[in-house]
Amino acid sequence: MNTGLRPGHRLRLLEGGRELFPAMVAAIDRARRLVHVETYIFVFANAALAVAEALERAARRGVEVRLVVDAVGTPEVPAEWQRRFAEAGVRWRIYAPLGWLGLLIPSRWRRLHRKLCVVDGVVGFCGGINLIDDRDDVVLGRLAEPRLDYAVEVSGPLVAEMLATMERLWWRLQAVGRVRERDFRAAWLAVRAGQRGRRRWRARSPSYESGAGGTAGAVVHGAAAAVLWRDNVRHRYDIEQAYLRAIAAAQREVFIANAYFIPGRRLRHALADAVARGVRVRLLVQGKYERFLQYHAPRPVHAWLLKRGVEIREYAPSSLHAKVAVVDEDWATVGSTNLDPISLLLAREANIVTTDRRFARHVRDRLVHWLGTAGAALEVATLQRRPWHERARDWVAFAVMRVVLFLTGHRY
């Protein structure tokens, strides 16, 4: 389970935008040279406005500020903020614009789903939290209770890797944009600038000390940690393999909170095998109806796992958007990766992984809290007693998912 882990990290667990946004704003307001942000959704309203305003302030004082948003999650930046960013000097790009055919082209399902921020190359943020108010939801509307989600603030060696990966994408987007404009010289210069930029930020590393706090004081120093990626070239299966290794090594407990939980065959069997050897496996999953496939396709998988002794609870008070897991308090991950085919086969994702027992215990404590106070237990009998048309929708959704994967050349 220790592959790729490096010592010497400071980790802070952050719960929801109510903790992430102030931490990001504080870091951005201290920035001296560079702020680089990637997100799937950026809604310029309510609490998330504080982050947009911090980016604007940083650019006005001469900091290089870059923002990348995904075209599906954020189809457009509001005109007012386009003007404000232009006046301040914030540079922004939309990842993989859809064009008039939209998602009818399967290759366009490969989205930028990771949520990252790096400031000056020395402090980073990684998790599942989009830049949207905790009570706002693009599907469900205004929520009665805050969305449940997590991120990690990290400083230490892996931040340089985060920045290098983000820079590769940034300069690729710059180059692709110039190629589309048939400005090939500018495209080549963008590639060269990316190479120089990575060396420049590695060479200059100011000191940084973030604010104290976080969920239940969940700050640890000296943690061994790594950042894991999922892309469609070099890191296709890194995050899934990390989950499989951790589950295979479990001796007492596997605890997963995952918004869109439709694991493939290998993950399903790994969880069932863990139960068979005496490990307690508990899952906290989304309980709200958002979209047809996301709600119905997991049900046959849930039933299969329940029959094999996996405990599953649906999160009831609000939307569950977390993507976190703890194994034996020896391994924990927080990131953007759902255990579903979109995340594991198509999207760009990022997760922080650590074997620090203090941090793992913090994550577990929060999950136990929510499991005990906000989860409705699923049972096989309950699923089977539902009206026949509800059960039929489950299998239709599951079949549609499998057909779509087949058409894109994936087996899951």
DSSP state of 217: G
**Residue 161 three-state SS:** helix
Burial of 105 (0-12, 13-18, 19+ CB in 10 A): exposed
Residue type, 395: W
Of 9, 70, 120, 137, catalytic: 120
Of 36, 113, 296, 302, catalytic: 113
**Residue 386 three-state SS:** coil
Would you call 321 a catalytic residue per the annotation?
yes
At residue 354, what are phi and psi to the nearest 5 degrees? -145, 150
**Residue 92 three-state SS:** strand
Distance of CA 272 to the CA centre of its chain: 25
Tokens of 404: 């779509």
Of 328, 330, 356, 394, catalytic: 328
Q: 268, 230 in Cβ contact below 8 A?
A: no
Q: Of 88, 151, 91, 143, which Cα lies nearest the Cα of 116?
A: 151
How far is Cα 325 from Cα 240, in angstroms, rounded to an integer? 12
Q: Following CA atoms 229, 336, 27, 76 in sequence, which dihedral angle do they give, to the nearest 10 degrees? A: 110
Of 36, 296, 302, 323, catalytic: 323
Would you call 235 a catalytic residue per the annotation?
no
Of 321, 340, 362, 394, catalytic: 321
Positive/negative CA dihedral, 325, 361, 363, 116: negative
Would you call 323 a catalytic residue per the annotation?
yes
Tokens of 68: 């990348």
Would you call 328 a catalytic residue per the annotation?
yes
Which residues are marked as active site?
113, 115, 120, 321, 323, 328
